Structure 1
């Protein structure tokens, strides 16, 4: 089992010193990766389910923040949970992601993408909310095409994106591919993970039966697409105080990575929670700086 941790800028804030201290502590205590969420724009009345999102929550840009973290760390992988892919132009995004990966020497490897659930956010960036699933599928294809293309250029003609003989450099660090995990809490997301994803990261308040059905769907869709279901990593959220028994139960469900977040908002308490979690699960060798 792999263990990662998230940093929620809306609740922990965007103080640069606190972000770096959090990331370094996670790295020094064996966490595999640091994840950040994304909202491009909020507005009064925006809701997630029955919860109205305070519009002043400071959602820092996750890729800019991860680039900042990469410059102050050495090993920790960089992840998003989730990047709202239909609201990014994939030609621009391919360059940004490859650049972060090169500058971090291959650590931009846990990109997780999702569709977004706020119609006003889609309108703000000129995206028809009803098309965001198709846009996401097309954007994944564009990203992979640009990363794999050479000096002769690559061409694409789709519903939303179109170009001829385009070159995108630099390539990802020592690779022509960055893993793309698919986030979401729907069967459509599971099918997308099976067809196009390197992993599936479901969220939301799903019951055990639905979670199992979605994982089976992701795997069967991969087979139908001529892909091996073994390529799919399976990531789930966990709690910072979770027990070994809970981890064993998740492993039995096929989970390969657990992402936790601290429950505390104060830096000292956050570090204590991370240290206790790392000690409880023996997270690798530690190399304090």
Structure 2
């Protein structure tokens, strides 16, 4: 089991010293990586399920924040939970992510993408809300194609994106393509993870039976598409108060990575929570 932490810019704030302090302490504790969320825009009355999102919450750009964190840390992997892929042009995003991976010496390795659930956000970005799943599928294919292409260029002709003989450098650190994990609680997200993902990261609003069903669907889809289902990483959100027994039960369900977050708002108490969790599970030892 691997353990990472998330930092909620909307609730913890975007003060640089606070973000860097949280990230550095997580690294010192031995956590694997740091995840940040994304909303490009919200609007008055926006809701995710029954939860209303206050319009003034500061959802900072996760890639920009991760660049800042990368410059202030040495080992911490960089992640998104989740980056709303349909609202990014994949040619530009491929360049941004590869650049960050090169500058961080190979740490942009926990990219998790999702579709977004706010129709108003899609409208603000000029994206057809109903087509965002197909758009995300194409975007994944485009980024991988650009990362793997050489000096002769690569071409793509899809429903949403099209180009000829495009060359995108630098490549991710060490060559190859960046891992892409798929987030989301829907059956479509599970199938997308199986078809295209290096990992599956479902949301929190699922029953135990639904979780088991989604993971089975992701693995079955991978097998049907000629991919190794056992190679699919399985990431879950977890409570900072989890016990050793609870983590053992999650591992038995196939979970390979847990992402936890401090619940306190005071930075010193946040550090205490991360320290206690790391000691409980002997992270980094």
* TM-score of Structure 1 vs Structure 2, range by shorter chain: over 0.9
The unaligned stretches of length 5 or more in structure 1 are none
Give, in whole Å, the separation in 2 of the partners of 1:43 and 1:146: 34
Give, in whole Å, the separation in 2 of the partners of 1:123 and 1:161: 18
**Structure-2 residue corresponding to 1:113:** 113
Give, in whole Å, the separation in 2 of the partners of 1:213 and 1:271: 36
**Structure-2 residue corresponding to 1:98:** 98
**Structure-2 residue corresponding to 1:149:** 149
Residue by residue, what CA displacement relative to the aligned partner does 1:189-211 show, whole Å, maximum 9, x if unpaired? 00000000000000131011111
The answer (yes or no) to whether the contact 2:204–2:237 under 8 Å persists in 1 is no
Q: What is the SS of the residue equivalent to 1:219? A: helix
Q: What is the SS of the residue equivalent to 1:99? A: helix
Give, in whole Å, the separation in 1 of the partners of 2:51 and 2:181: 26
Give, in whole Å, the separation in 1 of the partners of 2:134 and 2:244: 40
Runs of 4+ in 1 over 2 A off after TM superposition: none
What is the correspondence of 1:224-235 to structure 2 with a 5 Å cutoff?
A: 224-235=224-235
Give, in whole Å, the separation in 2 of the partners of 1:277 and 1:176: 34
Residue by residue, what CA displacement relative to the aligned partner does 1:121-143 show, whole Å, maximum 9, x if unpaired? 00001000000000000000000
**Structure-1 residue corresponding to 2:28:** 28
Q: What is the SS of the residue equivalent to 1:245? A: helix
The unaligned stretches of length 5 or more in structure 2 are none
**Structure-2 residue corresponding to 1:205:** 205
Give, in whole Å, the separation in 2 of the partners of 1:260 and 1:199: 17
TM-score (norm: length of structure 1): 0.98
**Structure-1 residue corresponding to 2:221:** 221
**Structure-1 residue corresponding to 2:82:** 82
Matched pairs, number: 285
**Structure-2 residue corresponding to 1:19:** 19
1:110 offset after TM fit, Å?
0.3
What is the correspondence of 1:157-196 to structure 2 with a 5 Å cutoff?
A: 157-196=157-196
> Aligned-residue CA RMSD in angstroms?
0.5
TM-score (norm: length of structure 2): 0.99
Give, in whole Å, the separation in 1 of the partners of 2:169 and 2:12: 35
Residue by residue, what CA displacement relative to the aligned partner does 1:200-244 show, whole Å, maximum 9, x if unpaired? 000131011111011000001001000010110000000001100
What is the correspondence of 1:240-259 to structure 2 with a 5 Å cutoff?
A: 240-259=240-259
Give, in whole Å, the separation in 1 of the partners of 2:278 and 2:255: 19
Is 1:275 paired with 2:272?
A: no
